[in-house]
Structure 1
Amino acid sequence: MLGAWRFVTVFGTVSLLADFVYEGARSITGPLLASLGATGLVVGVVTGIGEAAALGLRLVSGPLTDRTQRFWAWTIAGYALTIVTVPFLGVAGTLWVACALVIAERIGKAVRSPAKDTLLSHAAAVTGRGRGFAVHEALDQIGAVIGPLTVAGVLAVSGNNYGPALGVLALPGVAALALLVWLALRVPDPARYESDRDATSPPAATSAGTPTERPAPLPAAFWAYSAFTATTMIGFATFGVLSFHMVTRGILPAAVVPLIYAAAMGADALAALASGWAYDRVGAKTLAVLPILSALIPAVAFSDQVWLVVAGALLWGAAVGIQESTLRAVVADLVAPPRRATAYGVFAAALGAATAAGGALTGWLYDTSIPALVATVAVIQLAAIGVAIVAILWRRRSLVTR
């Protein structure tokens, strides 16, 4: 059995290769849809629904993963779905086909994520929750940088032909699946990392309970935390809308957009490492920076000046880094292993509904009034801070009255 840190790094390499594939595709989603006749509203709705599918459908896949205990099977199936759909996106001839493939790619993430996060959480119990998830995310984002850079290079060589740019992404996809299968064979039961760390915990094979047992309810702190994070996502613009702004306003050519996305993914990796390190030391108060970043993004990114647009994309990447690492680490600390995949599913469903609303809202407001978009997002993020304060006060009062 591999050591915990080696498990994290190999799993991170799988994500690196997978991100090479789907982040390469996502880096040009806005321009690709625009080339097929999409408006800002359509881009916002489709990318919002895609993210909602990636998050909301985990409400189904999470409990099913806990029930079946087939964590590796769900993980492999989800990665396979994503890797198959991306190359076909490059040959989509109509807007509706492209939209369907964008959403299908995100469904693959919904299938695998609760199982993948649960597998990773077991090893992160040994390495430190924040650091384990952060290192995984940082490796993940190396692929998210290489993918868009590769797409940008192929676009430049092929004269902005999306077919070859997306077709080349099939190669790292095959490598990701091969490495994932190897890891599953080497570490068939990652729950042993967590049970070995604490000899008093129940054996991994029985920790999920039997089908006849009533599952324990998710803790109140988890629900309060979900409310806070969902509120922040209602006021969070997708990169599809940001890239749509870059291209349709003539601020940047389409071939440059993947380079901006790659830089944003670099900011993602750095923010993940910083927030993970801070979380292991000072706790969940680290997340106070998330609504601040989310409020700043539209104020900067929807400018007509190139340097501000780039700065806004980097802020967007930093916020995503926190969302993809530290937010997930907190869930693992709030919920015990028997209900952890379910908790990841419920948590993602809340974020999915918020993301769908946020994608549609920011897309509509972008078409209507950018100043109104900036002001609305600022108000929503203030509300998120208010939700966090109320949750903290409520929890403290509950502890005092016990």
Structure 2
Amino acid sequence: MVGAVAAALTNARALSPWRAILGFGLVSLAADMVYEGARSITGPLLAGLGASALVVGVVTGAGEAAALLLRLVSGPLADRTARYWALTITGYGLTAVCVPLLALAPALGGAGLAVAALLIVAERIGKAIRSPAKSALLAEAAGSVGRGRGFAVHKALDQVGAFAGPLLVAAGVAVSAGVIWPALAALAVPGAAAMLLLVWISRRFPAPARKETPGTVAAGRLPRRFHWFAMSAAAATGGLVTFGLLSYHASRTGQIPVALVPVLYAGAMAAGAVSALASGHLYDRWGARVLYALPALAAATPALALSGSAPAIVTGTLLWGAAVGVQDSTVKALVADLVPAPRRATAYGVFAAVQGVAALAGGLLAGALYEHSLTLLAVVLAAAQLVSVVLLAVTLRMR
């Protein structure tokens, strides 16, 4: 019986490009319910375990840095070994395991904060392992249908999960009278669903065809325009405050109750889905000029989201979500268009590593400045976005 099932999966008809994109999107939907659900409550969770604003900034910044910097290793590894699917499945597996284990942190007493911090960073390492390989697979599927639209549709489905996960967490926290751990434990269910679906898709969609044999490094340097664009994206990432700090501020000021913080995050993810679809569609029609929207959205975020008014906090957080939507979809489409196929996983790894340095620096800077001057913090982050605009202009003028 098992042999028959394995044979059927092996001989199953290959997915068409759009079906493959939708399949990846559904995997991301389920996985996003897991890690975005947890991410929506990271600030209050760490605060409840005794973390200060600086610690929240360091942990969330280090997590994002790990998710980006380690792709410098996983990206070339994917291109060199051609094990795109193995790396994708391994990375998703780490997320499916680490997030539900966060439910144990409040029961660990004084060690809870350290364990939670380690699990948060470990989950982001899982993202680092899978992302370059998954992006290369997705770029391959989207190549024949328009990469702007392909990445946008994937991101929109991804954001549906990012919307549903925080709502699930919010419901769990509300039912548990403000206790966080039961909601985190419940995220094991969508995690298992993501893994089952991912394994099924891996049997029906082949890895990108290679012009080099496994074990050899693709020849040639990455294009110069790619490096300029990576610097532009790094400035935008460093100047984009993390949701961990936004949620810390929202709950600390009392403007947003802890139980509603995941709902706020869900709203941001919905805004991200809309911005991904809009920017992806416009990218295929107008080109990379649409990416000027990213620094504009990011620059407007801190002045509103770090204010003392609930409507301003909500508005600023929605702008943050829209910026993330563009950053995680249309930005990747341009990377795929700038770099030849055999080097794409490597390019995604290098690109993310540059962003990772910026994320860590930005997290540290934002956490430190938050304690001293919110006005200065907003000005510094806006200046980073101005640098991003200049570098993007240089990139688009190059041939």
> Under TM normalisation by the shorter chain, which class is it?
over 0.9
Residue of structure 2 in register with 1:34 after alignment: 47
| Distance in structure 1 (CA, Å) of the matches to 2:344 and 2:394 | 25
Contact 1:141-1:266 at 8 Å conserved across structures: yes
Equivalence for 1:9: 22
In 1, Cα distance between equivalents of 2:44 and 2:215: 48
The residue number in structure 2 matching 1:87 is 100
CA contact 2:82–2:207 (8 Å) conserved in 1: no
Deviation of 1:299 after TM superposition, in Å, equals 0.7
RMSD: 1.2
Q: Which blocks of at least 5 consecutive residues in structure 2 are unaligned? A: 1-13
1:246 aligned to 2:246? no
Alpha-carbon separation, structure 1, partners of 2:231 and 2:92: 28
Query: How far, CA to CA, are the matches of 1:351 and 1:174 in structure 2?
Result: 30
Q: Which residue of 1 aligns with 2:66?
A: 53
Q: Distance in 2 between matches of 1:275 and 1:353?
A: 26
Q: 1:170 aligns with which of 188, 206, 210?
A: 188
Match of 1:232, SS state, is helix
Instruction: Please point out which of 133, 142, 150 is paired with 2:151.
Output: 133
Q: Which runs of 4+ in 1 moved over 6 A?
A: none
CA offsets, 1:12-57, max 9 Å, x none? 0011000011100000000000011111111111101100100110
| In structure 2, distance between residues paired with 1:12 and 1:186 | 15
Q: Are 1:299 and 2:317 an aligned pair?
A: no
TM-score normalized with structure 1 length = 0.93
Kept in 2: contact 1:123–1:190 (CA 8 A): no
Gapped regions of structure 1 (runs ≥ 5): 192-203
User: Which residue among 43, 64, 82 is the counterpart of 2:77?
Assistant: 64
TM-score, normalising length from structure 2? 0.94
Please state if 1:344 is matched with 2:352: no
Question: How far apart are the structure 2 equivalents of 1:121 and 1:167?
Answer: 33
Contact 1:17/1:143 (<8 A) preserved: yes
Q: Does residue 78 of structure 1 match 2:82?
A: no
Q: CA deviation at 1:190?
A: 4.3
Whether the 8 Å contact between 2:84 and 2:207 is mirrored in structure 1 is: no
Alignment of 1:321-400 (within 5 A): 321-393=325-397, 395=398, 399=399
The aligned runs of 1:140-289 (5 Å cut-off) are 140-187=158-205, 189-191=206-208, 204=209, 206-209=210-213, 211=215, 215-289=219-293
Task: Tell me which residue corresponds to 2:115.
Answer: 97
8 Å CA contact retained: 1:30, 1:43: yes
| Counterpart-to-counterpart distance in 2, 1:9 and 1:225 | 28
Cα distance between partner residues in 1 of 2:335 and 2:218:
21
Cα distance in 1 for partners of 2:263, 2:372 equals 28
In 2, are the aligned partners of 1:66 and 1:208 still within 8 Å (CA)?
Answer: no
CA gap of 1:213–1:36, structure 2 versus 1, over 3 A, is closer
Query: Is it true that 1:117 corresponds to 2:121 in the alignment?
Result: no
